[in-house]
Amino acid sequence: MNMTVALVGVTGYAGSVLYQLLQSHPNVDKILLFGKINAGKHLSDLIAGLVQFHQADPVISVFDADVIMAKTDLVFFATPAGVTKDIALPFIQAGFPVIDLSGDFRLHAAAAYEKWYHKPAADHDYLAKASYGLVETHQHPAHYIANPGCYATAVLLGLIPLVKEHLIDLSSIIVDAKSGVSGAGKSPSASNHFVSVNDNLSLYKVNQHQHIPEIMQELQLFDPHLKAIQMTTTLLPITRGIMASIYAKIPDEIGDDETQIAEKISQAFENSYQNDPFIKLCGPAFPSIKDVVGSNLTAIGWQYNPVTRILFVVSVIDNLLKGAAGQAVQNLNQLFGFDPLAGLPLMPALV
C-alpha cells in the first residue's frame, strides 16, 4: 500500500524531522502540508534545508479537516499542546486515522490534563477514543493515536519491564532526566537562549513536568499500586538527546542472592525487548546520548548495588526521533501493517 499523508505543523523541530522521515518512507508517496499562520508560504521560505536541489517546493495549505480527509489517508499533528483538542474533533468523529505528536490526548482523565498542562482539556468522550502510542507495549484499537512524550518514552521503556515483573519497590522510584535544548521547542525564551544554556546545567519543572502523569498512567497498567514517582528534569547544553537516570530499590522479598537478583533484572529486560529492533540492551555498560542521537534507538543499561539494594537504570533516546517523529513513524507502520523498520534510521550519528 502506498499512501498520501497530511502533516499539520511542519515548522517545529518535531514536524521538520517527521517530514524528513516521511520523505524517505517507502510507503508514503505524497506529503501534503497544512497550517494556519504559515498558510500560503512555500516550505523553502520557512525551512530552506527541507527542500533539496531539484525537489518540489510544497506550499502550506490552509488547514481544512474536510480537505485533509478527502485527499489523504492519515494526518499527523506536530502542533503545540492545546491545539489538537480543538481542531482534531472532525477526524475523531469520522474515525479518520490520526497520529498526534502533541500531549492533548495522551491522558485519559481531563482533570489530569488541566492540572498538568494548565489548559482546558478535550471532552472525555473524545479522550476515550484515543490510543496511547508506545509501540513496544501497545497495539492500537483506535484510529486516533496519541504519540508519547519524549521524557515519558525514555522513562517508561526503562521502567516497564521492572514494574511488570514486580522487581522494584514502587514507593522508591526516583527519575533524574536530562534533555537537550530542542526538547523545549522552537520558540525562543530566556531559559533556552544560548547564553543561558551554554556551559550550564539548569533544573526546570521539578516534580511538575507534564510527562509525569503520562508516566504514572502507563505504569499503573502494569501495577495499579504505584502512587507516585519523584522526577527531576534538567536542561543540557546540547541540541538533542535525553538521558533518564532511574533509581529504585529492590524489595526484600526478592531475596538476598546478588547473582539471582541480577539475573532476574536482566531477564525482565530480555523478556520485554529481545525481539525489538529499536531497543538496545547494554547491561552494565551504560549507554551515552551519542549512542542514539540520529537514530530511532533506545539504549538501556543497568546495574544493581547489593549494598544499598538500589537498582540504577539508564535509558537514552534522541528526543526528536524516538521521542517524537521516529515514534510517530513507528505508529504509522504499526497502524497500517508496514515493515516496522520502514522509514526509520537504526544507526546513530556518532560524529
pLDDT in tens, 34-51: 998 888 889 888 888 888
pLDDT at site 45? 86
pLDDT at 58 over 80: yes
What pTM was estimated for this model as a whole? 0.96
Give the residue with greater pLDDT, 45 vs 72.
Answer: 72
Domains in the chain: boundaries = 3-148+322-336, 151-319
Give the residue with greater pLDDT, 141 vs 210.
Answer: 210
Alpha carbon distance 332, 323 (integer Å): 15
**Angle subtended at Cα 162 by Cα 256 and Cα 280, rounded to the nearest 5 degrees:** 115
Q: Is 150 a residue of the active site?
A: yes
pLDDT at 66 over 90: yes
Provide CB contacts within 8 A for 253, sequence distance 6+.
none
Alpha carbon distance 254, 269 (integer Å): 16
Query: What is the identity of the amino acid at 323?
Result: G
- Say if domain 151-319 classifies as CATH 3.30.360.10: yes
Q: How many C-beta atoms lie closer than 10 Å to residue 198's C-beta?
A: 9
pLDDT at site 46? 87
pLDDT at site 1? 79
**For range 332-351, the mean pLDDT:** 94
Pick the CATH number of 3-148+322-336 from 2.30.30.830, 3.90.930.12, 3.40.50.720, 3.30.300.160: 3.40.50.720
Query: Cell digits for 160?
Result: 516497564
Active-site residue among 99, 150, 197, 328?
150
pLDDT in tens, 275-313: 999 999 999 999 999 999 999 999 999 999 999 999 999
Provide CB contacts within 8 A for 329, sequence distance 6+.
18, 21, 22, 25, 296, 342, 343, 344
Helix (H) or strand (E) holding 77: strand 74-77
Provide CB contacts within 8 A for 300, sequence distance 6+.
157, 158, 269, 273, 279, 280, 281, 282, 287, 313, 314, 315, 316
